[in-house]
Structure 1
Amino acid sequence: MSLVVCVHGIGQQFSGEDEQHKRWLPAMNDGLRRAGHPVLAPEDVSCAFYGDLFRPPGRRLSGTLPPYDASDVAEGLESELLLSWWEEAARVDEAVVSPGERTLMRTPHAVQRALDALSGSSFFADIALRALIADTKQVRAYLTDPSVRAAAQERVAASITPRTRVVVAHSLGSVVAYETLAAHPEWAVDTLVTLGSPLGIRHLVYHRLLPAGGVWPGPVRHWTNIADAGDVVALVKDLAGPFGPRVENHIVHNGARAHDVDRYLNTVEAGRAVGRGCHGN
């Protein structure tokens, strides 16, 4: 019966619940210490896992990805997401060449140019291009495939207990957590903490949310959203616009690993939000 449920983001298809727990709990406890709150015991925290839904089917699974290249990027959401990342990367990183208006209108070579530009950005420096393409496919699968969407939300719902007071969600996991909470107003969850969230990207994510219209996430009383100024995935840093002034937004500085969940979790801002949800102060 966990007090805190954690929901991971994209690119975790070769991980699992126990691995996520080993990563999230120490960083979360560091944030709680920074904020002056008691740390959590292992049994106080559980990690909802849905990453296996994106593992390649029909063959023995391994820690490898298909050899994706630019030709594998689908028209529509996948290509538009890459172009949005490129535009934001150019805004926050002077080493990245700006795409320009013509490119953003989807020229024939726009996807390859986006991949080339992103490979030279500090944000995506340690991410292989095929992993980057795989990430766009995970976002598309969740937002457009009802069976994937339902299965991911079922994993989160199965982790929520009557004792759960806080849901902490990272990256794409914030979309899964938001929609799951919105569907269950009967739960006793008090606090939602979103880290590096893409929820505010109107044309790609926000307008595809279910329910539509930026409704408040079900039973939640306190929603804290935390973004690094250089986090390209969290393209819209302030969620008060799309979801209302009750969202408490914070900008943090995670260094070169702007989107890493560890760096988000060990901030005093995250510790304060989680601690308030767990202990009521």
Structure 2
Amino acid sequence: MGRIVVVHGVGNYQKRLEPEAAARKLADGWQGHLARGYKDAGLDHLTVPGITVAYYAHLLRGAEGQGAGDELDRLSAGEQQAVLEWLRVVGMPDEPAEGQSWGGMPVRQAIDLVARRRGLTARVLGRIVVAFMPEVYGYLASPERRRRAREEVARTIELSGAKVVVAHSLGSIVAYEALHAYPGLGVEVLITVGSPLGVPGAVFDVLDPAPDASGHGTRPPGIRHWADIAEAGDLVALPRRLGDRFPVDSHHEAPMSALDFHTLSTYFASGLTASALAHPVARHGRG
């Protein structure tokens, strides 16, 4: 098996590096984690596929989060609404208390409420919000950023000739839309990890293409096998079973890390990801 294309998630902007150098740096960093995943799965007798990164973080400049809880005050009105929609999935009660409205609840108050229900600190949950939501919203709310990111992903896939795409976090949104927008890329295997594709409102309802008449996402053209992987505590990979909303062929879920539950390094170091790569790739993804 040759190379795989990885479509990265949030927080991967590489300052002072040109896009090609940034892509190489990310690929080099993740290659070792993937090798550990193959070993974890008992597949170290197989050749670990080389990674080519579809780097688009530079195209979202001005949209990335700052990674500190006090940056919550800088979220736009649209970002705050998207945060509230995500928090409903994370663990907000079905109904607000008497006299309250989820739409009118301050983001800080909502984060504190959900953090207590999930056994987290408000600071930890706030850092996740700040790291994740601005880039996701910045991509989905900007037609120009959206177009350019999808073009870059499609260009990388085409140049690599890869048949296999691994898409993480926000990257699963970008890859899903790019594979639909450019149906002739020849990708046969899609593996989504830590994917928020199914988050209602903030993500699922604004996808391009839109969900079908039955309320489900559609399969990208040419995809023969779609595997989805979620770390058991990943607060971004929600709702947990992506296959309930998309035509996923297999879903895998397991504890991987109590702290780094959403990083691509954690997903690559897991035998679940290695197994999802090795077996369908052997059948469909030689390239």
**What TM-score do you get using the length of structure 1 for normalisation?**
0.80
Moved more, 270-279 or 173-182: 270-279
2:171 to 151, 165, 173: 173
Assess if the C-alpha contact under 8 Å between 2:112 and 2:121 holds in 1: no
- Please report how far the alpha carbon of residue 113 of structure 1 lies from its aligned counterpart in structure 2 after TM superposition: 1.8
Assess if the C-alpha contact under 8 Å between 2:167 and 2:192 holds in 1: yes
Closer/same/farther in 2, CA of residues 14 and 6 from structure 1, 3 Å limit: same
Closer/same/farther in 2, CA of residues 135 and 12 from structure 1, 3 Å limit: same
- 1:30 corresponds in structure 2 to 36
SS of 2:277 mapped into structure 1? helix
Amino acid across the alignment from 2:243:
A
- Please report how far the alpha carbon of residue 276 of structure 1 lies from its aligned counterpart in structure 2 after TM superposition: 2.5
Amino acid across the alignment from 2:134:
K
- Please report how far the alpha carbon of residue 106 of structure 1 lies from its aligned counterpart in structure 2 after TM superposition: 2.5
Moved more, 15-24 or 257-266: 15-24
Moved more, 63-72 or 22-31: 63-72
For 2:94 and 2:76, how far apart are their aligned partners in 1?
19
SS of 2:245 mapped into structure 1? helix
- Please report how far the alpha carbon of residue 69 of structure 1 lies from its aligned counterpart in structure 2 after TM superposition: 3.5
1:86-105 alignment runs, 5 A limit: 86-90=87-91, 101-102=96-97, 105=102
Moved more, 78-87 or 222-231: 78-87
Moved more, 229-238 or 29-38: 29-38
SS of 2:135 mapped into structure 1? helix
- Please report how far the alpha carbon of residue 219 of structure 1 lies from its aligned counterpart in structure 2 after TM superposition: 1.4
Assess if the C-alpha contact under 8 Å between 1:86 and 1:118 holds in 2: yes
Assess if the C-alpha contact under 8 Å between 1:201 and 1:236 holds in 2: yes
- 2:267 corresponds in structure 1 to 264
1:150-229 alignment runs, 5 A limit: 150-160=147-157, 161=159, 163-213=161-211, 214-229=217-232
1:266-281 alignment runs, 5 A limit: 266-280=269-283
SS of 2:107 mapped into structure 1? helix
- Please report how far the alpha carbon of residue 209 of structure 1 lies from its aligned counterpart in structure 2 after TM superposition: 0.9
- Please report how far the alpha carbon of residue 148 of structure 1 lies from its aligned counterpart in structure 2 after TM superposition: 0.4
Closer/same/farther in 2, CA of residues 65 and 258 from structure 1, 3 Å limit: closer
Amino acid across the alignment from 1:202:
P
Q: Which string of whole-angstrom CA distances, capped at 9 and with x for unpartnered residues, describes residues 190-243 of structure 1? A: 111101000011222111111112111121110000012211111111122211
Amino acid across the alignment from 2:14:
F
For 2:66 and 2:235, how far apart are their aligned partners in 1?
25
For 1:128 and 1:112, how far apart are their aligned partners in 2?
8
1:251 to 231, 241, 253: 253
Amino acid across the alignment from 1:24:
W
- Please report how far the alpha carbon of residue 86 of structure 1 lies from its aligned counterpart in structure 2 after TM superposition: 3.9
For 1:255 and 1:185, how far apart are their aligned partners in 2?
35
Assess if the C-alpha contact under 8 Å between 1:169 and 1:193 holds in 2: yes
Amino acid across the alignment from 1:10:
V
For 2:59 and 2:121, how far apart are their aligned partners in 1?
26
For 2:203 and 2:167, how far apart are their aligned partners in 1?
16
Which ranges in structure 1 are unaligned for 5 or more consecutive residues? 58-62, 92-97
- Please report how far the alpha carbon of residue 175 of structure 1 lies from its aligned counterpart in structure 2 after TM superposition: 0.4
For 1:233 and 1:210, how far apart are their aligned partners in 2?
20
1:111-122 alignment runs, 5 A limit: 111-116=107-112, 122=120
- Please report how far the alpha carbon of residue 126 of structure 1 lies from its aligned counterpart in structure 2 after TM superposition: 6.0
- Please report how far the alpha carbon of residue 115 of structure 1 lies from its aligned counterpart in structure 2 after TM superposition: 4.6
Residue 135 (1) aligns with residue 136 (2): no
1:51 to 52, 57, 63: 57
Assess if the C-alpha contact under 8 Å between 1:2 and 1:45 holds in 2: no
Amino acid across the alignment from 1:113:
Q
For 1:175 and 1:47, how far apart are their aligned partners in 2?
15
* RMSD, matched Cα: 3.1
**What TM-score do you get using the length of structure 2 for normalisation?**
0.79
Amino acid across the alignment from 1:239:
L
- Please report how far the alpha carbon of residue 23 of structure 1 lies from its aligned counterpart in structure 2 after TM superposition: 2.2
Closer/same/farther in 2, CA of residues 65 and 194 from structure 1, 3 Å limit: closer
- Please report how far the alpha carbon of residue 47 of structure 1 lies from its aligned counterpart in structure 2 after TM superposition: 0.5
Assess if the C-alpha contact under 8 Å between 2:227 and 2:250 holds in 1: yes
For 1:187 and 1:69, how far apart are their aligned partners in 2?
39
Amino acid across the alignment from 2:34:
M
Identity among equivalent positions (%) equals: 30
